[in-house]
Structure 1
Amino acid sequence: MTDRDASTMQFVDAGVTSLVEAPRDILERGLRSEQVVNQAGASQATFFRKFRTKSEFIEAVITSLTESTLHSADKVKQTVRAQLAANDDALRPTVTTLVKEAFDAIVNDASTARSLLSHIFAGSHRRTSTALENEYRRRDELVSAAYEALFEKTDATLRRPFTTKTFAVTVNAVIDGFRIRSRIDSRSVSPDMMSDALLAILGAVVDMSGLHQHLDDVVGPIDQPAETRPLPRDPRAAFLAAARSEFGKRGYFMTQINDIADTAAVPRVAANKLFPTKPHILVAALQSRVDSLRETVADDILIGLGDVAIIENFLLRCAQLASDETEFMDALLVAVAHDTYGEPESLLSLKEKLNIPSIIAPIVQRGQDNGAMSTISAPMDIAAGITNTLLLRCFTRRSDSPADNAAFVGAMVLNGLAHP
C-alpha cells in the first residue's frame, strides 16, 4: 500500500463507514470494493493504485479502527487544573464540568462503534490487539494524570489495595460501560449520572485522612453490627451544627436530612421528629437571629432614630447576619426563591417565621405617611425589594465586608441613581 495520503484515507474512511453504518450488508455481501469506491466518490482505478489487493485494503481499514485521537497527559493536567481554579478547588463542580465537556465525545455513536469493531477484530488480528493494548495504556495514563491534577494540592492517597494503575483501569471500565449502554439506551445515560458515578468511585477509593487506609475501612463485613455512637447531649444543637456543614458543602437541594442526622450522630427517627423538612431546619437555625434583628429595629424606634437611619442600621445588621450565617442564609434564599410545589406548607412557614422584610415595612409606611419616602409601591413591597437587593448583593459579593455591602445598597435605594 502507498503512503496514507488524503485519497487513501478517503477509501479507508469509506470502508470504516460501511462497517459502522451497515454491518448487516457486510455480513450478507461482504465489503465490496465497488461499494467503497461509490462511498468515497472515486474510481476503481484509483482504488487499486492505492491498494494492490483487497486484503491490503481490509488490513488498512482494521488498522484505522484503533488509531488514537487522545490528548497528551500534560494537556489533561492543564485542563483539570484550569477547571479546579475556576471552581475554587471544589471537587464536585470540577468533575461535573469535565464530564459535561467530554460527554458528547465519550458517547459518540460512531466512535463507540469503531471501538467495538476493533475489539471484535483484535481476536484474530495481532496488530489490532497490540494497538488496543497501547490505547488502553494511554487512556490509563490520562486518567492517572487527571487524578494527580485533581489532588496534587492535598495529601490524598488511594486506599489499599487500589493503586494508580488499578484505579485508572476501573475508571476506564466504567466509562466504557456508559459508552456501550448509551449506544442502545441513550436516555438512561447522562452527564450527571456519569459524573456522579465517578465521584462515588473517588469518594470510596481516595483517602483524604492521611492514614493510608484500606478499602475495608470504608466497606466493612456485612454481618458486622453497626457502630453505635452515643446520642449527643444536645441533639438539636448537634444536628444544626451538622446541617450548617452539609448545606455549605452540598447546597440546599442536595442536602438530605438523613445525611445530616448521620453526621450529627442523631438517630434518623429522632431527627425527622425534630425537623420534618429542610425548611424546619432553616427556621430553627435562623429564628433567633431574625427575632434579634426585629428587636434592634424596635429599639431604634424607641430611642427616636429617624426613618433613614433605622433603615441604614437594618441593612448593616442584615448584611452581618448574611455573613455570620452564610450557609443557612444561602439555603434560605434558594428555598424561598424556588417554587417548591412539594412543600407548600413548609414554604409558607419560612415566609411567615423568617419574614425579614416585614421588620422594616412599618418604617417604610411611616416614611410614606410623613412624605419622606416614595409611594411608588406598598410598604411591604418596598421593604421586600430593599431586603432582597441587600441579600443578593451579599450572596454575590462575598469578598466585600457587610458594611460595604450595606453602604452600597443603602446609597442606591435611599439616595437613588439620579443626580440631585
Structure 2
Amino acid sequence: MFLNFRPDETFARELDRADELADFRTHFHFPVNPATGKLQLYFCGHSLGLQPVAARQAVLTELDRWASLGVAGHFTPPHPWADYDADLRPLVAELVGAQPDEVALANGLTVNLHLLLASFYRPTRERFKILMEARAFPSDRYAALSQAAFHGFDPREAVVEMRPRPGEDLLRTEDMLEQLEREGDQVALLLLGAVNYATGQFFELAPLVAQARAKGCVVCIDAAHAIGNVPLALHDWDVDCAVWCHYKYVNAGPGAVGGYFVHARHAQRFDLPRFVGWWGHRADTRFLMPDTYELAAGAAGWQLSNLPILSLAALRASLDLFHRARMARLRAKAVRLTAYALALLDGLPLQLITPRDPAARGGQLSWRVPEARPLAAWFQEQGMIVDVREPDILRMAVAPLYTSFHDVWQLAQVWRARFTRT
C-alpha cells in the first residue's frame, strides 16, 4: 500500500483526485503570507487547527441570539444555552470512543486534569507515585508535581518517569509494561499522553491500561494530541478518566473549551471526593437553586460552571465536519499522508524521531535537526507553517480534513531544495 509512491507532481495530483475527503479542504481558512499575499501551506494542526469556514457564522448566530433574546436564549430553541452541549457530547464521544454520558465539555485541559485528580489521585503512604512518560507535555508534568506536593509528598520521589532506552527517542511497550509490573504496587496513578507531543508516538494504550489496572493503579489519559488525530477507545480500554483540548486537530479555535471523560463505572460514585459547582448539580433541579447539591450522574457531575457558548459554537462547526468525514476514513488518509511524506523525504540526512510503524504514530512527524528554529523560520519564508519544540525538534503535522497530497509533495520539494543548496 505504501511502497508504490512516485516522486513526481503528477502522482501527487492523482492521489488528490482519488481522495474521497478532498472536498473537506474547502471548509477551512488558510493563513495568508503577509509578504506575498499568497495562502500558506499549513502543517501545524498539532498545535492549533485551522478555522472552519462555518465557525464564524456559528459564533455570530449565538451573538445575534444574545442580542435579540437576552437571558431567554438559555431556554429558546434550536440550541438553548442551558443544554447547548446536548448534541455536541455524542459527537465528541465518537472521537474518543466513549458513551455520551461519559463525556463533558468544560474548562481548559489542565483545569480539568486537576479537577479529576482531586477525585482519582488518592495517594497513601504505600501507594503514592504518579507514573508518566518522560518528556510528557509540560503542563501535565507541572500538574503531577503540584498534586504530589499538595498531598504532602516530595514531588521528586512521587513523580516517576518511563524513559526510552539509552540512545533511543521512543518508549518501548515492553519496557513500559515491565516498569508497571516492577513499580505498580507503589503507583497510585498512571498519567499518560495517548500521543506524545514531542515525538508523535501513539502509545499502545490497551495493554498498558490493562496492566496498570491489574496492578491496582488508576489510569488517566491526556488525549490532547490524540483526539481527532488517532482512533481512541477510552471506554473499551477501561480508562478511569481522561482530558483533552479541542484547539489542535479538532479545530475549535485558540483557547477553546476543553473536554474530559469519566468511565461509566464511576457514574454513580457520588462518594468520590471532588470540587463541586452548580453546573454539576442534577440538571432537572439545578435551576431550583437548592441549598444542598445533588450531583449529576456521569461526567456531568464534575462540571462547575455554565457553558461557554461562543467557544462551543466554534466547536460545533468543526465537529460537524468530523461527523461527516468519519474518523476511520480520516485515520486511513493520515496514515497514507505520513507514509507519502516519509517516502518523499527518505534519503535526506534527517533524524526522524517519530515511529515509522504507522500504527504507532498519528498525523505528526518530528525530526531532530540542528538550528531547528531558524529552519522553521526558513520554511515560513517558503510559505509553509511548521513549528519547533526546544531545543532541536522540528514538528510537522498532516490534518486529513485539510491537508492534501500535493501539500506534502510541495513540502518535500522545498526541503530537498534546502539540502541541495547546503
The bucket for the TM-score relative to the shorter chain is under 0.3
* Bigger Cα Rg: 1
Higher RCO, 1 vs 2 (CA within 8 Å, ≥6 residues apart): 2
Q: Which has the higher helix share?
A: 1
Q: Which has the higher strand share?
A: 2
TM (norm. structure 1) is 0.18
